Amino acid sequence: MTSRRPREVRIVPDGPLLVEGPVELVTDDGETVVADRFMVAVCTCRRSKRYPLCDTSHRKRVRVD
Range of the domain at 38: 24-60
d(CA 50, CA 42): 10
Helix %, strand %, coil % of the chain (to 5): 5, 30, 65
Q: pLDDT tens, 14-28?
A: 889 999 999 999 999
Q: How confident is the model at residue 5 (pLDDT cuts 50, 70, 90)?
A: confident
19 domain residue, yes or no: no
The set of residues, in sequence order, having a beta carbon less than 8 Å from that of 62 and lying 6+ positions away, is none
d(CA 35, CA 2): 24
Residue 62: the pLDDT is 60
As for how many domains the chain has, the answer is 1
7 domain residue, yes or no: no
Distance from first CA to last CA of the chain, Å, rounded? 50
11 domain residue, yes or no: no
For residues 35 and 50, the answer to whether their CB atoms sit within 8 Å is no
Residue 33: the pLDDT is 96
Query: What pTM was computed for the model?
Result: 0.76
